[in-house]
Structure formats: C-alpha cells, structure tokens
Amino acid sequence: NAGVTQTPKFRVLKTGQSMTLLCAQDMNHEYMYWYRQDPGMGLRLIHYSVGEGTTAKGEVPDGYNVSRLKKQNFLLGLESAAPSQTSVYFCASSYGAGASLLGEQYFGPGTRLTVT
C-alpha cells in the first residue's frame, strides 16, 4: 500500500496563477483533510471531507476550493495564488467510524508551494 500520496512535491507559482494539488489514499478511508503548515504555527485545517461528494470548510478556507469526486482522491485548488499562500500543504485521511480510531490520521509527505 502506498498510503497517502501527494502531487506535486514542489511548485513555484506567480501571483494570480492557479493550480491544483492532488491527494490520493488507498486505505479506503472515509475522511480526508487538507492542512497548511507555517513556521511557528503548527498545522491549520483548510478544508475537509467526511465522504465522497462532500466537503466543508476548516479554520482557514479563504482562497482555496476543494473537491472529492472519488472516495480515494481529495483535490485542493488555488484559483488566484497570493504570496500569503506560500506554505507546506499536507493531506491526511482517517477512518470515519470507530471511537478507538478517533484522531488517528495518516499524512502524506507534503507539497511545498512558493508564490512569488
């Protein structure tokens, strides 16, 4: 099993350009998440999905959109990139049921995005 994979690993964008980050998981997880990691701030939740065809906003959703057309994929889009979106983006997935597994998330390796 590959676990959680992210594409691309690195990207440099100019202000105003658009791009899509792809996350894929092969563990049949119901829940998927996008976080951003900035120095000194830990990880912050951008958007999440509790199942195929559903998405919802997290704490820092402005400037991002997401889609979950297939259970195994979760896409994060930047319509018009801004320098404030320079960050490392992590995708994660988890099981949807089972109190014993609550909070156990599996993370991808991250995408380092620079917006100039």
Partner 1 sequence: GNSVTQMEGPVTLSEEAFLTINCTYTATGYPSLFWYVQYPGEGLQLLLKATKADDKGSNKGFEATYRKETTSFHLEKGSVQVSDSAVYFCALSDQAGRRALTFGSGTRLQVQP
Residues 6+ apart with CB under 8 A from 24: 2, 4, 5, 6, 7, 72, 73
99 in contact with partner 1 (CB under 8 A) = yes
DSSP string for residues in 5-25: EEE-SEEEE-TT--EEEEEEE
Name residue 92's beta-bridge partners: 33, 107
Structure token digits, residue 31: 């829940």
What minimum distance in Å lies between the beta carbon of 15 and partner 1?
A: 27
Q: Per CB under 8 A, which region of 20-28, 63-71, 76-84, 93-101 contacts partner 1?
A: 93-101
Q: Per CB under 8 A, which region of 14-22, 65-73, 76-84, 100-108 contacts partner 1?
A: 100-108
107 in contact with partner 1 (CB under 8 A) = yes
Q: Which residues contact partner 1 by CB under 8 A?
A: 4, 31, 33, 40-45, 48, 50, 56, 58, 90, 92, 94, 96, 99-100, 102-105, 107-110
